[in-house]
A = this chain, B = another copy of it.
Amino acid sequence: MSPLSEEQLIKRREAQRQRIVEAALKVFAVRGLHGAKMSMVAEEAELSAGQLYRFFESKEELYITLIRQVAEETAQAMKSIYDLPGSPFDKLRTFTASILKEESAQFPFKLIQHANTAEDVPDEAKQLLQQFTAKRYIEQLLPLFEEGQRMGDIAQGDTRKLISAFLTLLSALITLNMPIDDDHQMPDADILMRIIEGPRVRDR
Contacts and interface: CB of A to CB of B under 8 A. Distances in A.
A85 interface: no
Contacts of A113: 176
A167 to B, nearest CB: 9
Given A133-B183, A135-B183, A194-B195, A169 B173 contact: yes
Copy tally for this chain in the complex stands at 2
Interface residues of A, number: 36
22 contacts: A113-B176, A117-B178, A117-B179, A133-B183, A134-B184, A135-B182, A161-B185, A165-B187, A168-B173, A168-B187, A169-B169, A169-B173, A169-B191, A171-B176, A172-B176, A191-B195, A194-B195, A195-B195, A199-B200, A199-B202, A199-B203, A201-B202
